[in-house]
């Protein structure tokens, strides 16, 4: 999804990746622009609106494999002070019940939650590796959409499901929802637990009830007030080490860096409260604290196996671009604008044109030792795809990928695939469509129908040599910005990209891929559509996009490495 400066170009400035003087000229221009933004404290939000940002300082961690530049607020308040996030007092005794690793432990309820009176109890069951919530009969929200995160030496998102009443807990009538961390890779220790309610009516997403999802119009459905959406009190749980059941050499997790204090601390979900756009508002603790964004810098990604790094090294090419593409700075300016500028200039120099511009096949590559005319992988989408391309070039893999513009399902026409196949040599297409549809209200039925119609157009798979394969890329979650909430008196939000809707889109994409495979099992088409899920990388840090839309290089580089491995090694 575009931010306001995605289309900004520096007219009269030489190519970003041309000769050294030209390169320095553009770097100078960028520095001036960024300095201006910093001095004026401007930021661009996820719909292109300008707002002011609080003062920032940079802190570079030299040891970070992916070169992550952290930005911390200089406000004289502690963002992890529990009393600033809720009216509950700081619970100094919250760690006393974490010593027992086997017995079921009851968890504090936040009395300020919007559904506090509906919650009978919350408990941790170590034997089933789950956190459960019992909602009383007659609850205002009998089928809520929940989001839970465990944060400690590792990070994991809970996977929710509705359960039958748990006789062991003697909860009686009502409904029980359990969030599992069975398939998460967690090191043992004390973890902070936070559970949020996103929607009062979960839209059928937790149940993965596609028939129910297809009947719901969420245009006038508001999320719960994020200020009071936390169901848990100051909750810590003792987690035994987990070993994911899925034996995948590509699996990994976010791990606390060695030089970071391992003492248990709170990690509250970041959001933008209503009324937090003007400079005098943002400087106040009620805005700056919920919008603080420093904890992600304490983690780096750890692969379960070093197989990816070893095998991907064979695909890397030093074409002089990786050193010219620095990490996207987390300075609340416009990372998508930087990514688009760099990717456009790189592809123009390397391929002879950006998107379908220029003569791709006849471009002279005299300055490069690599033949750019080989098969390519097209990344179909918009700014999130450009962030991915930006990371591919940083990692020395950009020569294998090409940008393909596609904002909505209707973009995926036969003509679209035919042109990119014949002019950009793309045999694999990664489809990243969901940000624009979510921003402009596309309900589940409309999204599923339009995507399925395009993906099931069999003519696509017979273009050229009949070797096209499509990967449906999981849609990124966006932090909860003010436009995703309902203002008083409004019947719906202006932006629908909340976690429930994004979860729903991903359920539908997985289902489209599965249906296609099942339908075409007797033919060689059955393997032509696949769901490419990167949620295990992005979801644990879902609320850390500084512009409330696009992930920084810390996350995007890891996602790019994983996707490259899946696309290049699993054929």
Enumerate the β-bridge partners of residue 232.
109
Token pair recorded at residue 191: 């973890």
- What's the pTM value of the predicted model, to 2 decimals? 0.82
Alpha carbons 23 and 324: distance in angstroms, whole number: 9
Distance between CA atoms of residues 383 and 79, nearest Å: 30
Q: Between the CA of residue 190 and those of 102, 142, 231, what are the distances in Å?
A: 14, 31, 19
Pair of tokens at residue 178: 């359990």
Tokens (6 digits) for 377: 């992988």
Lookup: tokens for 374: 């080989």
Number of helices (H), then strands (E), in the chain: 13, 20
Looking at residue 72, its pLDDT comes to: 25
Using alpha carbons, select from 45, 477, 480 the residue that is nearest to residue 229: 480
| Per-residue confidence (pLDDT) for residue 6, from 0 to 100 | 32
Alpha carbon distance 261, 245 (integer Å): 30
The reported pLDDT for the residue numbered 490 is 86
Whole-number Cα distances in Å, 80 to 192, 264, 267, 285: 12, 11, 7, 12
**Where along the chain do its domains lie?**
82-269, 305-319+335-569
Sign (positive/negative) of CA torsion 267, 270, 274, 279?
Answer: positive
Rounded Cα distance, 516 and 461, in Å:
12
Measured over the CA atoms of residue 295, residue 298, residue 303 and residue 309, the dihedral's sign is positive
- Could you please report the per-residue DSSP string of 230-293? B-B-SEEEEE-----SS--TT-EEEEE-TTS--S----PPPB--TT--SHHHHTSHHHHTTT--
Q: Which tokens hold the place of 67? A: 């070169």
Mutual orientation of helices 499-519 and 444-455 as an angle, nearest 10°?
A: 30
What per-residue confidence (pLDDT) applies to 329?
59
CATH of 305-319+335-569, one of 3.40.50.620, 3.40.50.1110, 3.40.50.150, 1.10.1660.10: 3.40.50.1110
Task: Write down the pLDDT at residue 27.
Answer: 42
- Per-residue model confidence as pLDDT tens for the chain (571 residues): 433 323 332 223 333 334 434 443 444 444 434 443 333 333 333 333 323 222 222 222 322 222 222 222 223 345 444 444 444 334 444 554 555 555 789 999 999 999 999 999 999 999 999 999 999 999 999 899 999 999 999 999 999 999 875 555 556 788 999 999 998 999 999 999 999 999 998 888 988 899 999 999 999 999 999 999 999 998 999 999 987 765 565 689 999 999 898 888 899 999 999 999 887 888 889 999 999 888 999 999 999 888 888 888 889 987 878 777 877 755 544 455 778 888 888 888 877 778 777 655 544 444 444 556 678 999 999 999 999 999 999 999 999 999 999 999 999 999 999 999 998 899 999 999 999 999 888 999 999 999 999 999 999 999 999 999 999 999 999 999 999 999 988 889 999 999 999 999 999 999 999 999 999 988 889 999 999 999 999 999 999 998 889 998 899 999 999 999 999 987 6
User: What would the two tokens of residue 102 be?
Assistant: 């086997």
């Amino acid at each position: 999804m575009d931010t306001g400066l995605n289309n900004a170009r520096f007219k009269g400035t030489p190519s970003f990746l041309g000769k050294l003087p030209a390169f320095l000229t553009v770097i100078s221009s960028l520095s001036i622009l960024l300095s201006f933004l910093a001095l004026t404290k401007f930021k661009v939000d996820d719909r292109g609106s300008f707002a002011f940002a609080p003062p920032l300082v940079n802190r570079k961690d030299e040891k970070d494999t992916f070169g992550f530049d952290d930005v911390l607020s200089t406000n004289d308040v502690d963002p992890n002070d529990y009393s600033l996030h809720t009216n509950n007092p700081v619970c100094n005794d919250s760690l006393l019940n974490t010593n027992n690793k086997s017995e079921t432990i009851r968890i504090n309820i936040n009395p300020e939650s919007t559904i506090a009176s509906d919650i009978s109890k919350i408990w941790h069951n170590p034997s089933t590796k789950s956190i459960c919530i019992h909602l009383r009969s007659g609850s205002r929200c009998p089928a809520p959409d929940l989001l839970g995160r465990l944060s400690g030496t590792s990070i994991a998102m809970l996977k929710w499901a509705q359960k039958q009443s748990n006789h062991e807990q003697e909860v009686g009538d009502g409904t029980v929802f359990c969030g599992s961390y069975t398939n998460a890779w967690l090191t043992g220790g004390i973890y902070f637990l936070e559970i949020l309610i996103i929607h009062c009516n979960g839209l059928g997403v937790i149940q993965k009830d596609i028939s129910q999802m297809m009947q719901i119009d969420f245009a006038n459905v508001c999320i719960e007030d994020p200020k009071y959406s936390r169901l848990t009190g100051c909750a810590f749980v003792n987690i035994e080490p987990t070993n994911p059941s899925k034996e995948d050499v590509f699996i990994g997790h976010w791990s606390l860096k060695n030089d970071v204090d391992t003492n248990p601390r709170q990690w509250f979900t970041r959001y933008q409260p209503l009324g937090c756009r003007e400079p005098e508002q943002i400087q106040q603790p009620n805005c700056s604290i919920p919008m603080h964004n420093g904890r992600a810098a304490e983690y780096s990604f750890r692969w379960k196996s070093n197989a990816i790094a070893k095998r991907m090294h064979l695909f890397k090419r030093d074409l002089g671009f990786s050193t010219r593409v620095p990490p996207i700075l987390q300075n609340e300016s416009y990372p998508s604008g930087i990514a688009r500028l760099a990717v456009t200039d790189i592809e123009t120099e390397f391929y002879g044109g950006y998107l379908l511009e220029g003569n791709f096949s006849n471009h002279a590559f005299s300055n490069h030792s690599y033949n750019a005319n080989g098969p390519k992988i097209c990344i179909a989408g918009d700014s999130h795809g450009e962030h991915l391309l930006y990371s591919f070039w940083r990692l020395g893999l950009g020569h294998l990928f090409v940008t393909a513009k596609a904002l909505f399902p209707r973009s995926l026409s036969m003509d679209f695939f035919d042109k990119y196949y014949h002019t950009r040599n793309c045999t694999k297409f990664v489809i990243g469509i969901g940000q624009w549809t979510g921003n402009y209200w596309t309900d589940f039925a409309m999204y599923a129908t339009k995507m399925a119609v395009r993906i099931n157009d069999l003519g696509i798979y017979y273009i050229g040599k009949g070797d096209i394969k499509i990967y449906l890329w999981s849609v990124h979650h966006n932090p909860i910005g003010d436009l995703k909430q309902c203002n008083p008196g409004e019947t719906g939000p202006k932006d629908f990209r909340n976690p429930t809707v994004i979860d729903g889109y991903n359920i539908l994409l997985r289902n489209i891929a599965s249906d296609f495979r099942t339908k075409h099992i007797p033919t060689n088409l059955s393997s032509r559509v696949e769901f490419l899920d990167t949620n295990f990388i992005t979801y644990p840090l879902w609320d850390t996009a500084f512009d409330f839309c696009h992930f920084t290089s810390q996350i995007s580089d890891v996602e790019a490495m994983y996707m490259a491995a899946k696309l290049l090694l699993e054929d």
